[in-house]
Structure 1
Amino acid sequence: MKVLVPVKRVIDYNVKVRVKADGSGVDLANVKMSMNPFDEIAVEEAIRLKEKGAATEVVVVSIGVKQAQETLRTALAMGADRAILIVAADDVHQDIEPLAVAKLLKAVVEAEAPGLVIAGKQAIDNDMNATGQMLAALLGWSQATYASEVAVEGDHAVVTREVDGGLQTIRVKLPAIITADLRLNEPRYASLPNIMKAKKKPLEEKTAADYGVDVSPRLSVVSTVEPAGRKAGIKVGSVDELISKLKDEAGVI
């Protein structure tokens, strides 16, 4: 069984994001970029399935700018077999929207015929949390979102997913779309030998036009602002003073 894993290039999660002075978006100049953490978890899960013998090949795909090659090489160094880069934008500030991404992934799925697609539940830059669900709808495949545990049993996948009330275990028929949550696994670090080997692994480059998909944005960003800073707290000397401030100043009781 072939496993397809979409990965996205985002601002590294350790970097403090800065908003442009004109409020038109986030400043990406000289900012460290890396693989979306949820996608990294998805790559790790696909590799583990291959190590268990449940998968035969792991293919990673990224959609965006040419610089996403670095992200794909990271996935190859972790253990993926080959990569596909779909160049859909020239400007690093242009974010390809979930529907366009889902349409491109649908075309890739039809060409590659994987038995399973594992994606991150969301990207940390826009938090859309929509691509996996849209892809499942376009393909008419089963879907299991927010996965914290995955097991392949014959032509089905048993997925434990995180819900508000706790954990829910479902059984979906393959082929299927699974989106990875934070507690699914802990991604491995790529070793130096594997980083060197990744440079020789195949990386195919395509464009959105090759798949006949229009990636023109349907949304426009009105403004981007930093969240308001928290006000300093105060200490109170007694319960009576606390109640008084909650009642008279905060107005919550």
Structure 2
Amino acid sequence: MPPPAPRSVTALLQTLVADDPTSPRLTFYGARYAADGERVELSARVLANWVAKTANLLEEEFDAGPGTRVALDLPTHWRTVVWQLAVLCTGAHVLTGRHADADVLVSSDAAALGAGPAERVAVPLAPLATSFGAGLPAGVLDYARVVTGYGDVHAPVVEPAPGDGALDDLAHASMLAEAAAAGAAWPLRVRLLTDAGPAEAVRGPLAAWCRGGSVVLTPDLAALPAGVAEQERVDARLPRR
């Protein structure tokens, strides 16, 4: 019998940690892996820790919670997945891309973080980055510089209502049910290889984790060297739309 859809993203992460805290749950191959060897591997425990710190940052700095609109102007990347999960854990609403009416704008592009009505967060994508670096506009929070100072455990301050926005057009009540349905044909503990973009998180990473599985993520499947899928023991693939 397939596992039921978890009641929340927080519960999903707790299940992954309880099931197997140390095996890989998210493995990221950078766009230039063939040239620079960028590969990042996060166990359930490490993934949950990154999510907890980011969710605590959102709540403590921006009072994020149900109804807060958080625009993630970020590409296919492991940090993007962390941010999506963190926003969802607070009960807030993830908007993929740039949105002028967002309450918080999170971007890896300094040019997008100029003065505006939204709170602004800069996220560097370089491996092992500990700050965004030069050129950050005034008033922008440097995520890499501050995130390690937030708590390692997170519990939402307020639970979202069923109809509250979760990810783009999906509500919190339906998002994980749709993820469970999207991965229903995959084996339990699937090892999914995908270059699905941030807007496809439901049919990609969330669907795999609802199957008790793990994800190998890369920005471009076509650029991944031959042999990586076999090396990673992939048993399902999901190309981006």
* TM-score grouping bracket, smaller chain normalisation: 0.3 to 0.5
Q: So what's the TM-score if we normalise by structure 1? A: 0.34
Structure with higher helix content: 2
Q: So what's the TM-score if we normalise by structure 2? A: 0.35
Structure with higher strand content: 1
